Structure 1
Amino acid sequence: MMKNGGVIFDFNGTLFWDSAYQETSWDKYLETHNVNLTMAQKKEYIHGRNGKDTLEFLFKRKLDESEVEQYTEEKERIYRSECLQHEMKLAPGATKLLNYLKAHEIPMAIATASGKTNVDFFIEKLNLLDYFAEEHIIYNDGKIKGKPHPDIFEKAINKLGVKNSQSIIFEDSFSGIQAAMNSNVGNVIIVNSTNENYSEFNFPVIEHFDEFDRNLLVGCMKQ
């Protein structure tokens, strides 16, 4: 029998509060390529977007697959070394919530715009397989349309075998929230890890996973 709903987490800025490391690594990367962006441009074209879309905006031309791979990996090496200079841990209250979901056998997945090399890094450094089956960690494989398209969330929901209408998505980026809305899930929860203004959205905003109303999980429980 089809389970009701599942819980899908965006990763960067949601389950793992790495926005400062992302900012620093993007700044270093843009500097090496002599590209200047405003904060507004970064918000629109970088945060939560997939790599190809971002890079084509930065370099103002179409890029082939090998170029996207090369440029992305160059940036992500800077990012990973930035992460390693800090204590790497999941977001405030996240471990407690993940343990609760696991104990109640609630299907859960990650849907991230990160690529494979970063996902492997996160799996190793943050012990993600303690909570998520590897096939339920959906990442940017270069074939999925980037957020705000709902494709990555749709793929996660299909992998879990759950209903959109009963599912919950946690997101932090504006393009990610739009993608969550476009996937027609029952609930979208905004994780405010960077003191952002989300007043344009009519969704609950949390700054700690303990603030999440677990009554919303009733649609995800086994009947």
Structure 2
Amino acid sequence: MSELNAVVFDMDGTILNTEMLYPQVSTEILRRRGLSLTKDLTDAMMGRPAPKAFQVMIDWHDLADSIETLHQESEDIFADILETSLGLMPGFTELFKSILEAKYPVAVCTSARRDTAIDLLGRFNITPELQFVIGGDEVEHGKPHPEIYLAAADRLELSPSEIVVFEDSHTGCKAAIDAGTHAIAVPGDHSREHLFDGAQFVAESLHDQRIFEQLAIRFPT
């Protein structure tokens, strides 16, 4: 195994509980059109940049709406949900603290727009501790394409194999694996049934002791 020299987190469903909130947004969008959100559609949209996720929704239900219309509608619905429901994923605070104590460079690679990510992460004072954030709007090919993680490796001036990546979805994990990173899957309740072939292992949560062992960092007691 290569020496591990940096850590990169996905954001939605890995740092923040937003993957549990997005289905609420999709449910409301479809409810307004007399339609229902299924788990299969949720899985098909998960981890993808917003334009591609909305295109999946449009194709799935043969909607007449444009991507732009759905995106604006979702932003309005999401803003209301965030005020009461946004939170950190279990174990993130403790893991993040131990990673920073060990002096690992840390970054975030997300399918969300960069300005959205900066806003959401800033609400928990995470952004100042990061080397950088790469948003889905800053790459040509979104996850599951490996471009975003190859870009992160380039910015960190490291080989991808030296970077630990935490991802919660099949889509994001595939991007990390195909980039050649040390990918660890951390599914939540929204993604436990996803396949993570090629990941180093599937963690129970960010509090999984195996994560701390692989990074050789302090396990919180």
Whether the 8 Å CA contact 1:7–1:168 is kept in 2: the answer is yes
Structure 2 counterpart of 1:177: 173
The runs of 5 or more residues in structure 2 that have no matched partner are 60-65, 217-221
| 1:126-205 to 2 correspondences below 5 Å | 126-133=124-131, 136-141=132-137, 143-185=139-181, 187-194=182-189, 196-198=192-194, 201=197, 203-205=200-202
Matching of residue 211 in structure 1 with residue 202 in structure 2: no
Using the TM superposition, name which of 101-110 and 70-79 deviates more: 70-79
Whether the 8 Å CA contact 1:19–1:194 is kept in 2: the answer is no
Measured after TM superposition, the shift of residue 199 of structure 1 is 5.5
| 1:26-175 to 2 correspondences below 5 Å | 26-33=26-33, 36-44=36-44, 46-60=45-59, 68-69=67-68, 71-86=70-85, 88-133=86-131, 136-141=132-137, 143-175=139-171
Question: Which has the higher relative contact order, 1 or 2, with Cα contacts under 8 A spaced 6 or more apart?
Answer: 1
Measured after TM superposition, the shift of residue 83 of structure 1 is 2.0
Identity of aligned residues (%): 22
Normalization by structure 1: what TM-score?
0.80
Partners of 1:56 and 1:74 in 2: how far apart?
14
Measured after TM superposition, the shift of residue 96 of structure 1 is 1.7
Measured after TM superposition, the shift of residue 59 of structure 1 is 3.0
Partners of 1:197 and 1:71 in 2: how far apart?
27
Whether the 8 Å CA contact 2:41–2:57 is kept in 1: the answer is no
Per the alignment, do residues 57 and 172 of structure 1 end up closer, same or farther by CA in structure 2, a change over 3 Å counting?
Answer: same
- Superposition RMSD in Å: 2.6
Q: How many residues were matched structurally?
A: 206
Normalization by structure 2: what TM-score?
0.81
Measured after TM superposition, the shift of residue 210 of structure 1 is 2.1
Measured after TM superposition, the shift of residue 189 of structure 1 is 1.2
The runs of 5 or more residues in structure 1 that have no matched partner are 61-66, 219-223
Structure 1 counterpart of 2:12: 12
Using the TM superposition, name which of 30-39 and 96-105 deviates more: 30-39
Per the alignment, do residues 78 and 207 of structure 1 end up closer, same or farther by CA in structure 2, a change over 3 Å counting?
Answer: farther
Residue 90 of structure 1 aligns to a residue whose secondary structure is coil
Whether the 8 Å CA contact 1:49–1:175 is kept in 2: the answer is yes
Per the alignment, do residues 57 and 89 of structure 1 end up closer, same or farther by CA in structure 2, a change over 3 Å counting?
Answer: closer
Code of the residue aligned with 1:102 in structure 2: it is L
Partners of 1:126 and 1:210 in 2: how far apart?
19
